[in-house]
Amino acid sequence: MGSGQLVAVFGAYGHTGKFVVAELAGRGFVPVPSGRNARAVQELADGLGLEARVASADDADSLDRALAGTVAVINCAGPFAATAGPVIEAALRAKIPYLDVAAELEANLDTFAHYRERAREAGAVVVPAMAFFGGLGDLLVTAAMGDWTAADEAHIAYALSSWHPTAGTRLSGAVSRERRGDVRLRYRGGQWERRADAAPTLEWAFPEPVGPREVIGEFTMADVVTVPHHLPIPDVTTYMTAEAVRDIAAPQTPAPTATDENGRSDQTFLVDVVVRSGGAERRATAGGRDIYAVTAPLAVEALERVLTGRTRAVGVASAGEIFDAPDFLHALAPHVVFDLHPQSA
């Protein structure tokens, strides 16, 4: 457990940041709330008896002060296109591990492209997308691979009962769309393709109790960035239930509403992963509640493993690359129900 170690949380007062702060405190760490909104940071810190540290991504000195004396930083502040680079730089200066919960494709691509060699040479640990989108799917694909050293294709299908986006999700999405323009991205044949056509609609046979559902294919999420960086799989595709896509696309869809004492919404999820090699197929699933809340145990479990040396890589590394995927997924109970399914030909 944390044993009183200080962990900086940049963007601590955001929806996901608050879950991360609570998870850190529950595991014995001392969260250090940080962010540019002085009032929000102070209110959060005062309510929990913590020290507030105001910092901005465009002020390197303030970031250095925010990270002083901490053992790691978890970046929860989107849009990550603006915050990831500056906070990684601050973590490198402080010589502490960096983790974030970025779902933005472009931000994650930037992190791997700009920091992979530099972080490795410094012996630093940088774990991007250590969240529901990115980390969880990556761990599931890695676990499903098992002893395979390569595969032909990986498919990650998301069944969300609903998707009420946070303000941060909407802002990050807007930034990504601005950077990408009128195209969408998909990963085929070991390379990124920019597509101007509409994403396909098809049916995905989720395990019960979800069952067959209409999904939007090539709904490219952060997993499609993380998986190919450590697994030789030339085709990686993600899918999202059509109802969830309609939810997040509608401007009138409200933000998540807490329905329990921990602040979680009543949203449920099932992630179904299929990996194929030749004529063989392997499958892994994970189910749970509230995609924003479940990011907290994902990120903090990762932090604990980094700080205790239960890692397999240095530099910029995705979840499945740096951690023992099956062991990590089992450790997420009761937040996540994980299952590996028998191999089929």
Q: Specify the DSSP element, H or E, that contains 141.
A: helix 137-145
CA distances from residue 290 to 143, 161, 260, 293 in whole angstroms, order as listed: 22, 10, 11, 5
Q: How far apart are CA 280 and CA 287, in angstroms?
A: 24
Rg (CA), the chain: 19
Q: DSSP secondary-structure letter at 90? A: H
Structure confidence at residue 274 (pLDDT): 98
Q: Where are the domains of the chain?
A: 6-130+295-322, 133-291+335-344
Structure confidence at residue 344 (pLDDT): 60
Task: Determine contact, residues 87/100, Cβ cutoff 8 Å.
Answer: yes
**Fold match flag (6-130+295-322 vs 133-291+335-344):** no
Superfamily of 6-130+295-322 according to CATH:
NAD(P)-binding Rossmann-like Domain (3.40.50.720)
One digit per residue, the tens of pLDDT, for the chain of length 345 reads 668 999 999 999 999 999 999 999 999 999 999 999 999 999 999 999 999 999 999 999 999 999 999 999 999 999 999 999 999 999 999 999 999 999 999 999 999 999 999 999 999 999 999 999 999 999 999 999 999 999 999 999 999 999 999 999 999 988 888 888 889 999 999 999 999 999 999 999 999 999 999 999 999 999 999 999 999 999 999 999 999 999 999 999 999 999 999 999 999 999 999 999 998 999 999 999 999 999 999 999 999 999 999 999 999 999 999 999 999 999 999 999 999 987 765
Structure confidence at residue 1 (pLDDT): 64
Task: Determine contact, residues 296/23, Cβ cutoff 8 Å.
Answer: yes
Q: What are all long-range contacts of 306-313, with beta carbons under 8 Å and residues at least 24 apart?
A: 306/72, 306/97, 306/99, 306/125, 306/127, 307/5, 307/71, 307/72, 307/97, 311/125, 313/230
Q: Determine the length of the chain.
A: 345
pTM: 0.97
Q: DSSP secondary-structure letter at 208? A: T
Answer whether CATH 3.40.630 is correct for domain 133-291+335-344: no
Structure confidence at residue 179 (pLDDT): 86
Structure confidence at residue 62 (pLDDT): 98
